[in-house]
Structure formats: structure tokens, C-alpha cells
Amino acid sequence: MATAQKNPVTDNKPKAQEAIALLKADHKLVSMLFEQYETAKSSTKKKSIVSQICTELTVHAQLEEEIFYPQVRAALKDKELIPEAIVEHATLKELIAQIEDGEPSDDLYDAKVKVLSEYVKHHVKEEQNEIFPKAKASKLDMYALGEQLLQRKEQLLFKP
């Protein structure tokens, strides 16, 4: 009896995840990065961590705005939660732009990163306590949605 050969390319790809699990994993990663920033001493290390934070948040926001929010909004016929989340994203993007334009030696750099961290915590809490439970209770196929998110994330992170 023949056994299946392992394909090193496809076998190493992330397995399909449920959309909310994927988004929560992003939240956890960013939270850990903010914790690393708090203990970083050198400007080089701070800049490196902030670069990761900004990339992760930018990609995460784009995934939600392009794929997750429109489908959840349609499924829930939501008039309040998703629009609020989109406005919060706009504020986050503005703060990210300010941070990316700065240097760790700037007077307000640490303060801006701290405010970004607090704002992200607030946003994550609202998503996880309000949006995610309602989305999960909807008739959306969370695995299909997760696959869409994963494919788009790969495009955004690994574009040539």
C-alpha cells in the first residue's frame, strides 16, 4: 500500500482557522509586542518592536475592514458596532502614522506608543465582548471567513 508523500510547501502552510480564532491570535500577538516594548531599553529595540506592532495592526485593520466587518455587518444588519469599530481603526491609523514618523528619542514617542497600546486594548475588548459573540451567533461560516482572512493576510504580509 502506497503512503502519501509529504509536500514541504503545502504541509507547512497554516491550517484553516475559524475567523474569530485568527483575529484573537492577532490580538494576543500585538499585546505581547506591547509588553516587550515596555521592557525594551535601547532605541533600536524599541524601534524594531514598534515596527512590528505597526505592521501587525495595519494588516489586522485592513483584514477586518475588507473582509470581516462587511460580512458581519451584513449578517447582523448592524448599524452601530461595526461603524464604531471602523472609526476606531481610523484613529489607530492616525496614531500609527505619527509613531512611524517619529524616533524613540522624540519627547512624545513613548507616550504615543502607550496611548496606542491603551487604545488597542479598548478596541480589542469591544471586539471580543460585543462583535465576536454576535458574529459567532450569526449564520456566517467562520471557517470560510477564516480562510479568506488567512489568504489575504498572506498577500499583505508577503507581497513582493
Instruction: Give the pLDDT of residue 78.
Output: 74
Residue 152 and residue 71 in contact, taking contact as beta carbons nearer than 8 Å: no
Taking residues 55-74, what's their average pLDDT? 96
CA angle, 100 then 103 then 160, to 5°:
40
Residue 90: which residues within 8 A CB-CB, separation 6 or more?
none
Percentage of residues in the chain having pLDDT higher than 90: 82
Taking residues 79-85, what's their average pLDDT? 90
Q: What CATH number should be reported for the domain holding residue 85?
A: 1.20.120.520
Instruction: Give the pLDDT of residue 16.
Output: 59
Specify if 110 maps to a domain: yes
Band (130; pLDDT cuts 50, 70, 90): very high
Specify if 148 maps to a domain: yes
**Whether residue 4 has pLDDT greater than 50:** no
Specify if 3 maps to a domain: no
Q: How many domains does the chain have?
A: 1
Instruction: Give the pLDDT of residue 77.
Output: 82
**Whether residue 5 has pLDDT greater than 50:** no
Residue 23: which residues within 8 A CB-CB, separation 6 or more?
60, 63, 64, 68, 127, 132, 149
The mean pLDDT value of the chain amounts to: 90
Which tens digits make up the pLDDT trace of 7-45? 444 344 455 589 999 999 999 999 999 999 999 999 999
The domain in which residue 129 lies consists of: 19-157
Specify if 6 maps to a domain: no
Give, as one character, the DSSP assignment of residue 160.
Answer: -
Specify if 126 maps to a domain: yes
Which tens digits make up the pLDDT trace of 97-125? 999 999 999 999 999 999 999 999 999 99
Specify if 5 maps to a domain: no
